[in-house]
Chain A
Amino acid sequence: MISFIIKRVLLIIPIMFVVSFLVFTILRLGPVDPAQAYLLNSRIPPTEEALKVTRAELGLDKPFFTQYAIWLKGAVTLDFGLSYMTKRDAFGDLIYYFPTTLKITFLAMIMVIIVSIPLGILGAVKKDSIADKIVKLFSFIGVSTPSFWFGFLLIYLFALKLNILPPFGFEGVSSYILPILTLGLMSSAINMRITRTSFLEHITSRSTKYLKIQGVSNNTIMGKYVLKNSMIPVVTSLGMHFGELIGGAVVVEVLFALPGVGRYVVSSIINHDYPVIQCFMILMTAVFIIVNLIIDIIYVYLNPKIKYGSII
């Protein structure tokens, strides 16, 4: 187990390396000239002369691999350059906004777990009952609803009509409730369905029947065997949903005017603020790799049958 974790941690380095190279290359393949983007953001008219000066200033006149090497050298020391828009340290800006994003993502994740797993199990255990039908209906509605629209509906109902929660901005803990509900809806719905299917599969599986014949008590079967085994696909799905939640957080932050990376990143995308976009992608990669690692560890714990090597 420990060697597995060490191996995985060591693997982070080459992955980050590859991602950084891809991100850097793809951005340079785009149709927008970074020097032009820089001038646009500085609100300087992009004359030939200004472009030339800016290219030299940003080192864009150097060969591609030199540019990458310079950038990588900075990136290793967390220096991703200055944002074209704000002229502040891109990493510093993102790190300033990042905790809010992570906070709502994690809280939404907790909501997804609390809502989807019990309800999914309920649906499976009481298959075809009214409860099951409600669970199925909920998950159907959940996967088809645009989250930002759902957010507006919540704002309208709870903030404007009932006046019990703040509509926008950050005014204490209660400000988190609506954003988290908005963010967690879709993932809860998907996960609920996966839990239900997986649980059903294991209840009706041959080995469960075998255990029953063996006289193992129903509670033991459910708790030890069915629950543990049926959680394997659920954990995988949760891992994937963490990424979806962070993506959704961008929308939710814009919608609820929360001080997360969302609004900052959206405006840097609109303005071709390359240093910020690069830094954002690297930061995201780091987060996803760590989350994937955690998921895999849980995965191995749940299912010791798989060899550690096979899922690398």
Chain B
Amino acid sequence: MKQLFIVLSIFLLFSTSYAHDEATLTIAWPINAGPINPHLYNPNQMYAQTMVYDSLVRYTPNGMEPSLAESWSVSDDGLTYTFKIRNAKFSDGTNVSAEAVVMNFNAVMQNKERHGWIALVSMIESFYAEDNNTFILKLKKPYNLTLQELSVARPFRILSPSGFLSEDTSKGIKAPIGSGPWKLKETKLGEYDIFERNDYYWGQKPKYKYVKVLVLPDANSRIIALETGKVDMLLGEGVFTLENYVRLSKDKNIAAYKSEPRITNMIAMNTSKDIMKDESVRKAILLAVNKEHIVKYILLNEETYAGHIFNPSLKYCNINEKPYEYNLAKANEILDKAGWKKHGLYRKKDGKLLSINLHYIGIDPKQKATAEAVQAYLVQAGIKLNIIAEESTIFYSIQANGFFDMIFNKTWGPPFDSGTFLGSMRKPAHADFRAQSGLAEKKQIDSAIDELLISDNETFIQEKYNYILNILHKRAVYMPISYEHDFALVRKDRVKNFQFGNMVTEFMLHTLEPSYD
């Protein structure tokens, strides 16, 4: 028995050191990277899109930085953007040119509808290549967020002309060939994706030769994979639970990282739907839930309490309104006054039960736990909350068609917050539009957003922000819960030099180095 054990452990030692060729970084993700089409959404994974493709410019918290465009200028009227394209190569060795950029913009603009959430798409008047390395973008109106929206993970990223199947990439691409630090090497469905260093990359070259992304759909198995050394690090939204983050941050082999808060995690309430039209119900819901306790005990204080839909530290977003504070007695009082009377456990009005649905993504443990807590709080106010676990694609289609009473909702983090996110509130395919559509002031809100996005007057913008955020707060449209951070767990013995990307979906794997500790 003992001998067997020794043999086994030698074998294990040998096999692990063999499997971890120092040049390969192994991480885990719930699903495959998808076809990695730069201009499309699910199932294309954003982390992969940012690994393989470049945008014209890069977002950083301190302002925009050059990327495929090594420099740019804006005309005085704010309508013409001139980008100087870098002398770079795609991963197949072909040259990046202004013509290639035009091809990509063409492909994006052929699917304007699909990209409606990004306001820039509707602002673009025309674009063309002035010469081999000059790209001109003309707008209908000046737009403040032009550069930010060009920098996001999709759709304005540049695919090599050799990767095009036809002009219209929404029908598919030939191959994911970009100019980013990595190129796709191999995909095995349900098992892994392997990326290889792009030796033509114009920037700082990755230290690792390969990145292997294991497909592990189950959160538990991802954590076990990290603990047993099957993967070198875990990062990304929802990849591990907060409980495991707290537990493993005490592990001496593991470095735990936490970013600044970036995204607001909230619940949207549908002001246009049945019972939810009743503002007193919405207010009572906000008062009946002890969010401080949810943040402290369910989110383990690893996320920051949110009083408003945007973090007040964001520009223009610090409005003078006190968050709704937990006050069960007041919640009950409001409901009594509004005619919702208790019959047994729950309230009724004109024979109608105070019963509300809250949809959440079934496999998201944080949403599930939060939903359960909200349900338990609301029963104390006599509100029957049905919590419904949804498969994620269904979840997003519910958000889009407004078929919800309450639904989890998130802002998009930098660089979208707050401008682009506000912009999307005007689009019917968004939970926010649906949630707000019952408000008498919805038209005014939308036109205020229209105006602030093209204004260059700071005071005017601030005024509009105050107006919008005040109404959304007063009318009790959202239940902000927390400002989320990004988390990462890294095996110290394998990897060093970890840093968070500037956007939630950017992994910065090219900056990582193998550790020989």
Contacts and interface: CB of A to CB of B under 8 A. Distances in A.
Interface of A: 43-45, 167-169, 257
A43 B218 contact: no
B94 interface: no
Nearest to A257: B218
16 contacts: A43-B394, A43-B397, A43-B398, A43-B401, A43-B403, A44-B401, A44-B403, A45-B401, A45-B402, A45-B403, A167-B220, A168-B218, A168-B220, A169-B218, A169-B221, A257-B218
A168 B216 CA distance: 13
Interface of B: 218, 220-221, 394, 397-398, 401-403
A44 B394 CA distance: 12
Nearest to A85: B394
A58 to B, nearest CB: 19
Nearest to B217: A169
Contacts of A169: 218, 221
Contacts of A167: 220
A100 to B, nearest CB: 16
Contacts of A257: 218
Nearest to A39: B403
Contacts of A44: 401, 403
Contacts of A168: 218, 220
A128 B108 CA distance: 82
A264 B397 CA distance: 20
Nearest to B273: A45
A204 B394 CA distance: 64
A168 B224 CA distance: 13
B494 to A, nearest CB: 23
10 A-B pairs with the lowest CB-CB distances in the bound complex, closest first: A43-B403, A43-B397, A43-B398, A43-B401, A45-B403, A169-B218, A43-B394, A168-B218, A44-B401, A169-B221
A43 B388 CA distance: 13
Contacts of A43: 394, 397-398, 401, 403
A44 B397 CA distance: 10
Nearest to B359: A43
Contacts of B397: 43
Contacts of B398: 43
A202 to B, nearest CB: 46
A167 B220 CA distance: 10
Nearest to A267: B391
Nearest to A167: B220
A169 B401 CA distance: 33
Nearest to A171: B221
A169 B402 CA distance: 34
A168 B402 CA distance: 35
A45 B434 CA distance: 13
Nearest to A41: B394
A59 B162 CA distance: 49
Contacts of B394: 43
A87 to B, nearest CB: 11
Contacts of B401: 43-45
A172 to B, nearest CB: 13
- A43, A44, A167, A257: residue with the most chain B Cβ atoms closer than 10 Å: A43
A45 B272 CA distance: 12
A169 B398 CA distance: 28
Contacts of B218: 168-169, 257
- B220, B397, B402, B403: residue with the most chain A Cβ atoms closer than 10 Å: B403
A152 to B, nearest CB: 15
A45 B220 CA distance: 36
A257 B402 CA distance: 31
Given A45-B401, A168-B218, 14 more contacts: A43-B394, A43-B397, A43-B398, A43-B401, A43-B403, A44-B401, A44-B403, A45-B402, A45-B403, A167-B220, A168-B220, A169-B218, A169-B221, A257-B218
Nearest to B401: A43
Contacts of B402: 45
Nearest to B221: A169
Nearest to A166: B221
A175 to B, nearest CB: 12
